Structure 1
Amino acid sequence: MRLSCSFLPRQVIVGPRRVAAGEVEINRKSDTRETVRLASTLQRLGVAA
């Protein structure tokens, strides 16, 4: 769980950087998929814990 907690803030930081880079429209779909995968992984960790 510690790894996931330290991983989330990094994703939050990466988001604005992509916005500044103007790649938001291109990466929206991939970002959504990554978010869904991350959420499912956190749920699995929660169930396992």
Structure 2
Amino acid sequence: MRLLRYFLPWQVIVRPRGAAVGEVEIKNRKSGGRLTLPVAQALAKLGAKA
């Protein structure tokens, strides 16, 4: 699992309550920091296109 920190630095967590209001949680695998953001903002932070 340690290699995931380097190759997949972010983990996206979708919880039922967050999904109901259009939010996801993103977690930095290296630091352990977490952010709860609207889906569009989370995609922008991760550099993905909607």
TM-score normalised by the shorter chain: which range applies? 0.3 to 0.5
Structure with higher Rg: it is: 1
More strand by share: 2
More helix by share: 1
Higher RCO structure, 1 or 2 (CA under 8 Å, sep 6+): 1
So what's the TM-score if we normalise by structure 1?
A: 0.36
